[in-house]
Amino acid sequence: MNVDQTILDLSTLPISDRLRVVHAIWDSLPDDVDLSATPEQQAELDRRLAAHRSDPSTAISHDELMRRVQSRR
């Protein structure tokens, strides 16, 4: 199996099918897999949280996020 070719093939599927694949893969991970953020990811999360705390007005509500997502469909 060529993973790169599989990813390329999957990218041609409709979004709903790709989401099904994502969910199936996620659900297949063992319960004891380490899902910790890498140091780089943690640094980025910390940076974004600090930016939000310094100016919370830049955030949008969940309702607004969902409205924007729905408007793109």
Looking at residue 24, its pLDDT comes to: 97
- Average pLDDT score over residue span 23-40: 95
- Average pLDDT score over residue span 2-15: 94
Mean pLDDT of the chain: 94
High-pLDDT (> 90) share of the chain, %: 95
| pTM of model > 0.85 | no
Q: pLDDT at residue 73 above 80?
A: no
High-pLDDT (> 70) share of the chain, %: 100
Nearest to 60 by CA among 69, 46, 72, 47: 69
